[in-house]
Amino acid sequence: MRIFWGYLWFRALLWVLSVTGRLLLGAAVLVVLAVAAPVTLVAAVGVAGAWLRGWPPARLWRAAFWALPMTAVYLAGRAMQSGTWQALALAPAHDYLAAWHAVAADRVTAAFVLAAPVAVPAGLAAAGGLWAWRTNTLETGLSGRTAAAPIIFDARQWNRQARTARARAAAPGTVPLIDGGGRVVMGATIRAVGHRWRPVLAVPHTAMGRHQVSAPPERATPATAGRPGLQGRPRRPRQSRPHPPPAARRRHGPGGHLARRDSRVTVGTAAA
């Protein structure tokens, strides 16, 4: 009996320790998210935008990359103001504390200007990582309440991606005729498999000839008899002699006259 009660106490102790560890981990995560509030806010907006618009994680990482020039300009300005490397390394921390003081003084715009050069790229990069982890766990079946969760998630994402592609194609100026590399733009991209995702699908103009459809042959005239056609080969002139007349149709097949209604056909040899 003592062994049984000891086992129950041991199981209860393990449960209490596991729950306490989860609570402490959750509290630590909340504290980190609250301390890094600007990065958390940008990451939340990025994940929500990717979910509503059907963006792939690469779209968020590309946005973070294009936000790096703002960070470079910020660091260059701080380098001109700071006299030493130590002051330059501590400049983001000082600006972050100044942003918190600006929020406390109801100066939200000043706080955003102070925190944006570092918070925007870091938040977008974190959003891309979180969205990639979320999509991967759902596609592989590691998360979701039911077995059909990956299929439902994929169908909903496809609808959002198709809606985003239609909106991009309908907006004026978002889908040009050619891209920066001189390739012909075919339309907006919904998904990319095995290739780098781009907002629009573009192919080189040299590949257009392989997808051309030949026009029906036209009647050749003396003026266009030797002119090359769509495939680069000269057209053949029309034949001067007429085609041979079709063979006369037979009313009955071979031996059909023997199988008339009033005729008799003897099969085999006659009896002696």
pLDDT tens across 37-78, in order?
Answer: 889 999 999 999 999 888 889 889 999 999 999 999 888 888
Helix (H) or strand (E) holding 167: helix 149-170
User: Which range, 13-22, 183-192, 197-206, 215-224, is most confident?
Assistant: 13-22
Q: 259 falls in which pLDDT band (50, 70, 90)?
A: very low
| pLDDT score recorded for residue 43 | 93
| pLDDT score recorded for residue 272 | 38
In this prediction, residues 32-38 reach a mean pLDDT of 86
**DSSP string of 28-77?**
HHHHHHHHTHHHHHHHHHHHHHHHHHT--HHHHHHHHHHTHHHHHHHHHH
| pLDDT score recorded for residue 197 | 76
pLDDT tens across 137-184, in order?
Answer: 888 878 778 888 888 888 888 898 888 888 888 887 777 777 777 788
Going from N- to C-terminal start, the domains of the chain cover: 2-174
> What's the CA gap between 229 and 224, in Å, rounded?
10
In this prediction, residues 28-33 reach a mean pLDDT of 89
Q: 218 falls in which pLDDT band (50, 70, 90)?
A: low
| pLDDT score recorded for residue 246 | 52
User: Which range, 66-75, 168-177, 202-211, 240-249, is most confident?
Assistant: 66-75
Answering whether pTM is above 0.75, one says: no
| pLDDT score recorded for residue 64 | 93
> What's the CA gap between 25 and 110, in Å, rounded?
33
> What's the CA gap between 90 and 96, in Å, rounded?
10
